[in-house]
């Protein structure tokens, strides 16, 4: 009725032959052939890499995608990256499917070549993906579960961070946004306790106006219109991503030191 169909997933190459935006049942995703699931989609020479650099394994997942505005816009902004939206609610999957097709049709495309939607529970994330299969995870406006007794349900709880570490590759990152100060404080502590490096931490993301380099979700646009602050951070997970982040910090410290703005020499990337 809504142009949604369930099909067996035949590996990452499925994206390149996708004719209709599909909603894939969790069991199909989990039971993919092991050889096929490890095949990574790599952009062909000359193919646009989009606004994000994900390295050779360009697969990103949004966990709890809402109505699909974010992942639809990300897919069209970054045509050489494969996006996977995961949610457990049929109605949200339907809306996201319609929105993605509308976005791509607006650009003159009848197909959605780099986005698939999965009906599944994040609780079983490590069963859906092989180790190192994702390069980035997006957590946008997850349920804050404000009661302390429900803390383990928060998607930035340490038990979930262990799952993310398992499915992210050496370039892996987690990008997190929320309107809940309580959840943001909890998440800062969770990421820190897990030993993850954090960068681009913001307590009011759109303080100076909407960030044109970032895609807003439906909730984000609503909250920004109401004048509410949006909290955001990026957590660096993969080994190579951590080393690149250390080198970036060292370069910035070195630049400040040479300009006289830092009293201490830059930290060593080996420390």
**Catalytic site positions:** 143
Helix 69-77, helix 90-105: angle, nearest 10: 30
β-bridge mates for residue 199, sequence order: 234
- The two three-digit tokens of residue 156, written as one number: 């930035």
What 3-state class would DSSP assign to 38? coil
Q: Can you tell me the distance from the alpha carbon of 46 to that of 263, in angstroms, rounded to the nearest whole number? A: 45
Q: Can you tell me the distance from the alpha carbon of 68 to that of 39, in angstroms, rounded to the nearest whole number? A: 26
Burial class of residue 11, CB neighbours in 10 A (0-12, 13-18, 19+): middle
- The two three-digit tokens of residue 109, written as one number: 């495309």
**Considering only CA atoms, which of 44, 47, 33, 91 is closest in space to residue 65?**
91
């Amino acid at each position: 009725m809504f142009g949604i169909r369930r099909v067996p997933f035949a590996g990452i190459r499925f994206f390149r032959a996708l004719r209709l935006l599909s909603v894939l049942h969790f069991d199909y995703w989990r039971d993919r052939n092991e050889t096929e699931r490890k095949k990574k989609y790599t952009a062909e020479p000359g193919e646009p890499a989009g606004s994000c650099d994900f390295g050779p394994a360009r697969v990103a997942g949004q966990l709890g995608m809402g109505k699909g505005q974010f992942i639809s816009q990300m897919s069209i902004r970054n045509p050489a990256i494969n996006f996977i939206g995961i949610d457990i609610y049929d109605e949200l999957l339907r809306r996201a499917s319609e929105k993605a097709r509308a976005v791509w049709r607006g650009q003159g495309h009848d197909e959605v070549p780099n986005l698939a939607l999965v009906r599944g529970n994040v609780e079983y994330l490590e069963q859906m993906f092989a180790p190192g299969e994702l390069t980035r995870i997006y957590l946008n406006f997850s349920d804050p579960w404000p009661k302390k007794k429900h803390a383990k349900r928060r998607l930035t709880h340490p038990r979930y961070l262990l799952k993310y570490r398992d499915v992210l590759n050496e370039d892996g990152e987690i990008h997190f946004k929320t309107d809940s100060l309580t959840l943001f404080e909890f998440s800062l502590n969770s990421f820190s306790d897990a030993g993850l490096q954090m960068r681009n931490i913001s307590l009011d993301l759109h303080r100076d106006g909407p960030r044109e380099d970032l895609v807003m979700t439906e909730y984000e646009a609503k909250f920004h219109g109401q004048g509410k602050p949006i909290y955001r951070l990026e957590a660096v997970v993969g080994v190579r991503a951590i080393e690149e982040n250390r080198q970036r910090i060292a370069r910035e410290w070195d630049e400040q030191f040479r300009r006289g703005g830092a009293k201490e020499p830059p930290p060593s990337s080996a420390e």
